[in-house]
Amino acid sequence: MATNPDAEIDHEGPVTPYRQLAEILKARIARGDWAEGRPMASENSLVQQYGLARTTVRRAIAALAEERVVWTVQGRGTYVGQPPDGS
């Protein structure tokens, strides 16, 4: 699913907001907004930017982590790509 990285969340659309956000974040990563191995935007900034609840943002990040697009270090942030140890 090709998504516009500058898209807004459609709260009335058929796709859940967390899935929409996950697709937007993947598009932003593909565009190069955040480099491989570097931290991406914080949860707080994503909550403010997209007008979503923190749990929705966390669910989108968790979906991307399951797809191995990002990984999270508690207290440090979410990083693009796979963890350096390959796990």
Reported as a single tens digit per residue, the pLDDT across 2-61 is 578 888 999 999 999 999 999 999 999 999 999 999 999 999 999 999 999 999 999 999
Provide the residue ranges of all domains of the chain, joining segments of one domain with +. 17-69
Please report the DSSP string for the chain in residue order.
----TT----TTSSS-HHHHHHHHHHHHHHHTSS-TTSB---HHHHHHHHT--HHHHHHHHHHHHHTTSEEEETTTEEEESS-TT--
CATH number (1.20.1440.230, 3.30.70.520, 1.10.10.10, 3.30.1780.10) of 17-69 reads 1.10.10.10
pTM value is 0.89
Reported as a single tens digit per residue, the pLDDT across 49-60 is 999 999 999 999
